[in-house]
Structure 1
Amino acid sequence: MIEVCCGSFEDAMMASECGAKRVELNSALSLGGLTPSLGSLIMIKQYSDIEIVSMVRARAGGFCYTNYQYEQMLENLKLLLAYGTDGVSFGFLNEDRTIDKQRCQEFLENVKNEGCKATFHRAFDCTRNPYEAIETLIDLGFDRLLTSGQEATAEEGIHLLADLQKKYGNQIEIIAGSGVNENNAEKIMKQTGIKQLHSTCRGWGVDATGMGERVSFQVSDEDGDRYRSVSVDRIKKFVEIFG
């Protein structure tokens, strides 16, 4: 299965129309993905039956949140569940980069009470000991783990991914993500045994109104008039790979 990382209602509809079966719904993909708007979730549910995994993340940066940030995330979680998300992706770490069991447990109780799936996201890739971390996640009751094998890309982390899948793949669904594309997908699956991949299927939209005479609202100088979206062609290629 391909899980398409989407930043908007429009992205998710494009993924659905191309035949994808699951999306991870975010906002602010340029910041690594933050909690999506309720409007985007509601609209996707209205126009598509695609499975939606909603990100819950208050800010960019690390995963050890202040009490205010955590309370905001907990409230967002409850709203996303109330409006029909199929799953939730989140992650909490302690200052020493171990799993924050208490906060994860509170989130999991809310998710499981609604019969939804829980994914621990790539905060896992910042943990000090991946084997201790994955065993903690299994004990807590997570359904899925999204990871690059603690490397910048899943292709670079292929050896750890393969070992985690071999040792724990029958206890938790492992999703390989980061730098996954239509050209390396089959290699990653073959060498790791992992059957679920996560990809941005990155494409670009264009809006030339972000530059004034003396001001700029462009995402970056490098991107210019472009903003992040998904690529229909890349999604279709993934769908073909998975048959």
Structure 2
Amino acid sequence: MIEIIAATVEDAIKIESCGGERIELVSALSEGGLTPSYGTIKNVVSSVNIPVNVIIRPHSKNFIYSEEDMKVMIEDINLVKELGANGVVIGVLTENNEIDNSKLERLIKAADKLDITFHRAIEEVNNIVESVKVLSKYQEITNILTSGGSGRIEDNIAVLNEMTRHSGNIRILAGGGLNLNNIQDIIRNSSVKDYHFGTAIREGNRFNGEIDEDKLRRLVGIVKNR
């Protein structure tokens, strides 16, 4: 699986035409991704045939959410379902940097039959492998997006492999610093089969850069010919 971040309808169309297999739809890419607008979700979903997973993140302060935040997130999840997207991308932690099981379960319940990706909030937990074990108990969670912790993703291959070993039916989605320079090492040395790209496929590797279709096609070719 090759998942690419999109922020606009134009992004989404380019991603599909270049061989991307799934979209993570966000706004405010420079903030790590926030929930996109109703209109963006609606028009992206109707413009492509590949799955669209929508990030549900109301602010970039942290991954600790108040009851008011939860109301917003649940309402946004309900809108995503109504608009026909494939899934949601979520993550919620306690003040002690652990998975917030009670709030996570409420979001899972709201998502119902949607695919669920637990996003890079997992990078901030105290023990990433133990947190994967916690998440593996939820059959509804389909993916965990991760770079294997802090630092460069290529230095975290051993952690990615350990996460894969304990993830059960959840697919580990390698992302966060994945690019043309390190993708072959990740493919060759890790047990991960799914890959997520953000700024690596944009002009100048900038958050606000346009998607570089040549770079994207090259990355797709590397992954598909591994």
Q: Which residue of 1 aligns with 2:93?
A: 93
- Partners of 1:170 and 1:182 lie apart in 2 by 29
Q: Which residue matches 1:216? A: none
2:125 corresponds in structure 1 to 127
Q: Which residue of 2 aligns with 1:239?
A: 220
Question: Deviations 1:10-57 (Å, cap 9, x if unpaired)?
Answer: 211110111211010000001110001121222122221011111000
1:47-196 matches, cutoff 5 A: 47-111=47-111, 113=112, 115-141=113-139, 142-165=141-164, 167-196=165-194
Residues of 1 paired with 2:53 and 2:181: CA distance? 25
Q: Give the C-alpha shift of residue 238 in structure 1.
A: 1.7
C-alpha distance after superposition, 1:116-137 (max 9, x if no partner): 2111000001000112211111
AA aligned opposite 1:77: I
1:239 corresponds to which letter in structure 2? V
Separation (CA, whole Å) in 2 of partners of 1:191 and 1:61? 34
> Which structure's CA Rg is the greater one?
1
> Please, what TM-score do these two structures have when normalized by structure 1?
0.85
SS of the aligned residue for 1:228 comes to coil
CA–CA distance in 2 between the matches of 1:134 and 1:170?
9
CA RMSD of aligned residues (A): 1.7
Matches of 2:57 and 2:210 in 1, distance apart?
20
Change (3 A) 1:153 1:87: farther
Aligned to 2:208: 227
CA displacement at 1:140 relative to structure 2: 2.4
Report if aligned partners of 1:8, 1:40 keep a CA contact under 8 Å in 2: yes
**Does structure 1 retain, via aligned residues, the 8 Å contact 2:9–2:47?**
no
State the Cα distance separating 1:152 from its structure 2 match: 3.1
Letter in 1 for 2:54: S
Deviations 1:100-148 (A, max 9, x none): 111111111122x3x2211100000100011221111111231110111
Code of the residue aligned with 1:145 in structure 2: it is I
- TM-score w.r.t. the length of structure 2 is 0.91
Aligned equivalents of 1:105 and 1:56: distance in 2? 14
Return 5+ residue gaps in structure 2 as ranges: none
Check whether the contact 1:152–1:178 (CA below 8 A) recurs between aligned residues: no
Shift of 1:60: 1.0
Q: How far 1:204 moved relative to its partner?
A: 4.0
Paired position in structure 2 for 1:209: none
Q: Deviations over 1:195-217 (max 9, x none)?
A: 10111134249xxxxxxxxxxxx
Quote the residue 1:203 is aligned against. Answer: 202
Equivalent pair of 2:147/2:153 in contact (CA under 8 Å): yes
Contiguous gaps of at least 5 residues in structure 1:
206-222
Counterpart in 2 of 1:40?
40
**Secondary structure of the residue that 1:124 maps to in structure 2?**
helix
Aligned-pair distance for 1:169? 4.6
